[in-house]
Amino acid sequence: MHRLKKTVDMTEGPFFKKMVVFAIPLIITGLLQCLYNAADLIVVGQYRGEVAVAAVGSTGALTNLVLGLFMGLSVGAGVCVAHHIGAKEPDEVKKVVHTSMLLSAILGIVMGAFGFIMAEDLLRLMGTQSEPVDVLTPATRYLRIIFLGVPGSMMYNYAASMIRSAGDSKRPLIFLAISGIVNVAFNVILVVGFGMGVEGVAIATITSQYLSAAMAIVYLTKTSGPLKLSLKDLRISGAKVKRILYIGIPSGIQGSLFSLSNVLIQSSINTFGDQVVAGSAATGNIEGFVYIAMNAIYHVALTFIGQNVGARKFKNIKRITVYSAIIVTMVGFMCAAFVLTFRNQLINLYVDSPEAVEAAMTRLYIIIPTYFLCGLMDVFCGALRALDRSVTAMVISLCGACGLRILWISTVFQVFTTPESVYFSYPVSWILTATCHLIFVIIAARKLMREDREQREFNECSKKLT
């Protein structure tokens, strides 16, 4: 029998301190990961101009759309690991690990090849312009190289998801810290030293992605316990794939649908010209840091609730959900205060023309102060997914966030054809979706507690009869 090692006991209180301690490495890890694209935009903005910024920035929503479906499967792997660890089933954890790593490699190769071949066509569908300023050509070159790094990105995300679900949030931080430094260094070397453009920052990004994947895989092969990865044991378990897909596919579809709505929004922004696109991309990248910080709390809720569901300690779910909401709101407010205080310095890292700066400020003032609502939406969604209601979470997100945004662009934006009109669709969708998620979390938790109580009563009656 494997010996199970956990950095954090997630099934016993007090929870608030444990959640904060577990969240801090997750936040730092996410911020380092966000540095990939930020370093790309900052370096090309400083040394290759705003057309290059627009080229890199215009690919973000599309990349997330293509990868979202399959990256969501890593959530399925993480939830499965959390459930089995909570239930003290190390052999089942081992099956999930080997199935997930092989699955991530296969999906990464398939998606990387698809994206490389279809890059230009996908960008054209988004409305990326080639006239009067050619953004399409450099954006295509950048995107094709980025897709070459998809296998590395997929394998790292699957490995990191499972490591975190086992209670270790520090190890992924170490991997990302090292690869993040490599990414920034390669950006400067390739763009400044060798005079490369968007190709240089893309190569730097995928190099760091493969490095982080390699470190995660080496760690899994060297560790002891149920997370240990043995290359000779790599095989697909049909039962585990079914379980991962049941949880992960709705998560992936949800991520893709969010990205689809963002692609539609990006396409609307593209109609205002390269200055607005550059300004929006600059603020959007700053938002990425805020989102990553708050999304870390989503993973906290997902992991803590997942382990308690596996351990059948349903009474802890309410406290963990409430604490997660409090923590994510605090993080959102702190991030907003920081960004608003240093808004000029932050935006000038990306763009410096008056038109682009003004466009960036317009988006920043609308979205940043309300971003904590996005955090609440994600936390309640994570709680619902950990409660084994991944399909419900997907449907709510489809109707609440994605459907509303598409409807907004089709109606409100057609009447008020301004960038501000586009940006207001975000906080409105966050409020509605978060509310719906919370309602269904309460329903799902109560149902699990009722079923558990009925099962215990049935077992007691059976003992008395025997």
Single-letter amino acid, residue 4: L
Q: What are phi and psi of 255, to 5 degrees?
A: -60, -40
Q: How many domains, the chain?
A: 1
Residues of the domain holding 119: 15-460
Whether 5 maps to a domain, the answer reads no
pLDDT of residue 364: 92
Whether 7 maps to a domain, the answer reads no
Task: List the helix and strand counts (H, then E) for the chain.
Answer: 19, 0
3-state secondary structure of 389: coil
For the stretch 365-394, pLDDT in tens is 999 999 999 999 999 999 999 998 888 988
pLDDT of residue 26: 85
Closest CA to 8 of 307, 296, 315, 326: 307
Q: What does each of the 466 residues of the chain score in pLDDT, given as a tens digit? A: 344 444 567 888 789 999 999 999 988 877 776 666 666 677 777 767 767 777 777 776 677 666 666 667 788 898 899 989 988 888 999 999 999 999 999 989 998 999 899 888 888 877 776 655 577 888 888 889 999 999 998 999 899 989 988 888 889 889 988 988 898 889 889 988 888 888 888 899 899 999 999 999 999 999 988 899 998 888 889 889 888 888 888 887 777 666 666 767 777 787 777 788 888 888 887 888 888 888 889 989 999 999 999 888 988 999 999 999 999 999 999 999 999 999 988 898 877 888 888 888 988 999 999 999 999 999 999 999 999 888 898 899 888 877 888 888 888 878 888 888 888 888 998 999 999 999 999 999 999 888 878 877 777 777 766 6
Whether 466 maps to a domain, the answer reads no
d(CA 168, CA 166): 6
Among the residues of 48-128, which ranges form H helices? Answer: 50-57, 60-86, 90-126
Whether 9 maps to a domain, the answer reads no
CA angle, 240 then 69 then 335, to 5°:
110
Whether 298 maps to a domain, the answer reads yes
Within 13 Å and on the Cβ side, how many CA atoms surround 300? Answer: 34
Whether 2 maps to a domain, the answer reads no
Closest CA to 108 of 97, 120, 100, 98: 100
């005079």: which residue's tokens? 195
Q: Enter the DSSP assignment of 388.
A: T
d(CA 7, CA 171): 11
Whether 128 maps to a domain, the answer reads yes
3-state secondary structure of 220: helix
Dump the DSSP string for 23-64: HHHHHHHHHHHHHHHHHHHHHHHHHT-HHHHHHHHTTHHHHH
pLDDT of residue 54: 73
pLDDT of residue 260: 67
For the stretch 318-370, pLDDT in tens is 999 999 999 999 999 999 999 999 998 889 887 788 888 888 898 899 999 99
Please, which residues have CB within 8 angstroms of residue 464's CB and are 6 or more apart in sequence?
A: none
pLDDT of residue 383: 93
pLDDT of residue 149: 92
Whether 103 maps to a domain, the answer reads yes
